[in-house]
Structure formats: structure tokens, C-alpha cells
Amino acid sequence: MKTVAVVMRSLDDEIPSLRVPAASALLGSAKHIVIIFIEKNKMFLFNEPHVMLESEKILSVEQKLHRKAIVTHLENTAKAVKKINFKAEVSKLVISGDEKYKIKKCLQCLEVQAAMFVGRHKRKKFYEYFVQSLEDYVFEIMKIPTIRV
């Protein structure tokens, strides 16, 4: 494989170690690994202008701290990937917003041959039974192999 994307949605997500053979084989065979972190957009709507200004100050401080945490998490993830495949070139990318078209466009521009979605397996919410998951969307639209770890 030439290019493999590792997609993460949470700061709790970690690269699987050598215990997961499919993930380690996929990362071990790649020449270029792109670590993509999907940052969810937060919106707060207030009616009063002074409340809105104060909330923007708090939100900007919170966003700065969250961005620093994301950068540190991506650095640690890159180190973990380098332990699995030290020859691979590792790139880090943060996408703001979890819209499917952004991820599709990003994977197309990077010419990704496979995608690995890292995340905890949790119970589906009611609406997720009717909405197509991101992994299925990437698999069907881009026709590339996807792994959920």
C-alpha cells in the first residue's frame, strides 16, 4: 500500500498495538500514513450580546486548550505509528466538522488506498440505524478497503 489514512474522532482513541494483526499489517505495509483527526464543531446561540461576548472569550480559551490537546495527541499517535513502521512518512491533519463530504474530498486529494477508523465500539443511537456511518460511506463512495479498530 502506498497511502493509508488513520481516522480518529476522539482524544481517547489510540492506535492499536501489534495485538491487532490487521491494523499492524496495514500500517506496516504503508509508505505514507496520514493521521486525520475529526474535530466536531460546537455552536452556542445566545440572545443577549454581552452573554455572547463572554461566552466567545471562554470558548476561545477552551478551543485553544482543546487544540493543544489535539496536537499532543497527534504527536503521540505519530510516535506509536513510527514504532510499527519506522520507514513510513507520517502526516497529521485536523478536519474541522464531521461532514462526510469533507472527509471524502480529503481522502481523494491524498489518494488514499485504505482507511483505518479508530474508535470505541459503542451501542448505536436510534438515529444511527437510519443514517449511513462514515466507514460505510467511505467504502461505498470511494471503493477503498476500510477497517474499524
Residue 105 lies in a domain: no
Indicate the residue type of 8: M
Q: Which one, of 92, 88, 101, 86, lies nearest residue 137 by Cα? A: 101
Residue span of the structural domain in which 69 resides: 22-94+110-127+141-149
Q: Which residues are CB-neighbours of 6 under 8 A, at least 6 positions away?
A: 15, 27, 33, 34, 35, 36, 77, 81, 115, 116, 118
Residue 10 lies in a domain: no
Q: Mean pLDDT, to the nearest integer, of 129-134?
A: 67
Q: Which one, of 36, 41, 38, 24, lies nearest residue 109 by Cα? A: 36
| Per-residue model confidence as pLDDT tens digits over 11-56 | 877 777 667 788 888 888 889 999 988 887 655 555 555 555 565 6
Residue 29 lies in a domain: yes
Is residue 16 within 8 Å of residue 46, measured between CB atoms? no
Question: In whole angstroms, what is the distance from residue 92 CA to residue 73 CA?
Answer: 10
pTM listed for this prediction: 0.78
Residue 38 lies in a domain: yes
Residue 39 lies in a domain: yes
Count of structural domains within the chain: 1
Instruction: Check residue 138 and give its pLDDT.
Output: 78
Residue 14 lies in a domain: no
Residue 103 lies in a domain: no
